[in-house]
């Protein structure tokens, strides 16, 4: 029974397209995140939601828009995709939003923009 | 601002030998520290954490880490390495005094561990 699941696992698309990545957690956690891992494996937080409320919004282009319909789901929509958006995007969740509990990560979505 | 450094891009060790993966941090207060492991084409898996208390923390798969406040370090260790330990290891820090952004973890650049027979 997968704890944090994201779909799709692979996404290949052309520049200029709009795409979405979905994430669901069945752990009952209050906080969810989106991280981006670049080609050098560097991980950086993009967004965080706590009980459907946006609490972290890093310096991310406006083309990226997270949406949390409920606390078990956090989706990522990307408009007008660019080559530089190619990366692996990880969804994660944790019990609290204060940093004391570990995050559980999904398996990642490898986005390739051509 | 919080930051974490992993000075080694890669660590090579023979199976059965002890391993150490280094991590140093910089925060304004007492840190929350984490180690995660990433296997190829997989998400990150939690190994262990230091929040407070005993400086020696034991985690999954026989790993442990020691919090050293004076040296601002949190090195990951294992007494006897296995080939299956080969993976990418990330150290992460959270400054509990940073209240403006929820659970904002800052990750190191990762250390590739290679355990050979």
> CA nearest A51 in B: which residue?
B102
Minimal CA–CA distance to A88: which of A37, A20, A19?
Answer: A37
Q: With an 8 Å Cβ cutoff, are A90 and B102 in contact?
A: no
Which residues of A make CB contacts under 8 Å with B? Answer: 4, 31, 33, 40-45, 48, 50, 55-56, 90, 92, 94, 96-100, 102-108
What is the per-residue pLDDT across A35-55, written as a single tens digit (0 to 9) for each? 999 999 999 999 988 888 888
**Which segments within chain B are labelled E, that is strand?**
3-5, 10-14, 19-21, 24-26, 32-38, 44-50, 56-58, 64-68, 73-78, 87-94, 106-107, 111-116
Residues of A in contact with B104 (CB under 8 A): 45, 48, 56, 99
Residues of A in contact with B3 (CB under 8 A): none
d(C-alpha B24, C-alpha B26), whole Å: 7
pLDDT < 70 regions, chain B: 97-103
Residues of B in contact with A94 (CB under 8 A): 103
Per-residue pLDDT of chain A (114 residues; tens, 9 = 90+): 679 999 999 999 999 999 999 999 999 998 999 999 999 999 999 998 888 888 888 878 999 999 999 999 999 999 999 999 999 999 999 987 677 889 999 999 999 999
CB B11 within 8 A of CB B21: yes
Task: Please give the DSSP secondary-structure letter assigned to residue B31.
Answer: P
pLDDT (0 to 100) of residue A55? 82
d(C-alpha A102, C-alpha B103), whole Å: 10
Q: With an 8 Å Cβ cutoff, are B103 and A96 in contact?
A: yes
Task: Please give the DSSP secondary-structure letter assigned to residue A40.
Answer: T
């Amino acid at each position: 029974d997968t704890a944090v699941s994201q779909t799709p696992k692979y996404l290949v698309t052309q520049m200029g397209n709009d795409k979405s990545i979905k994430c669901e957690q069945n752990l009952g956690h209050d906080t969810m995140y989106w991280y981006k891992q670049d080609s050098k494996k560097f991980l950086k937080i993009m967004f965080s939601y706590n009980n459907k409320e946006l609490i972290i919004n890093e310096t991310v282009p406006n083309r990226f828009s997270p949406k949390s319909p409920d606390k078990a789901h956090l989706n990522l929509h990307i408009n007008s995709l660019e080559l530089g958006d190619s990366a692996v995007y990880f969804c994660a969740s944790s019990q609290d939003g204060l940093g004391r509990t570990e995050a559980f990560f999904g398996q990642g979505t490898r986005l390739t923009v051509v | 601002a919080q930051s974490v450094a992993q000075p080694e891009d890669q660590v090579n060790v023979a199976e059965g030998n002890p391993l150490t993966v280094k991590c140093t941090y910089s925060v304004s207060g007492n840190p929350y520290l984490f180690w995660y492991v990433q296997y190829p084409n997989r998400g990150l898996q939690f190994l262990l954490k230091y929040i407070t208390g005993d400086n020696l923390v034991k985690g999954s798969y026989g790993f442990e880490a020691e919090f050293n406040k004076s040296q601002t370090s949190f090195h990951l260790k294992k007494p006897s390495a296995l080939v299956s330990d080969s993976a990418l290891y990330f150290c992460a820090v959270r400054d509990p005094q940073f209240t403006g952004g929820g659970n904002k973890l800052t990750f190191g650049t990762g250390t590739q561990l290679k355990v050979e027979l």
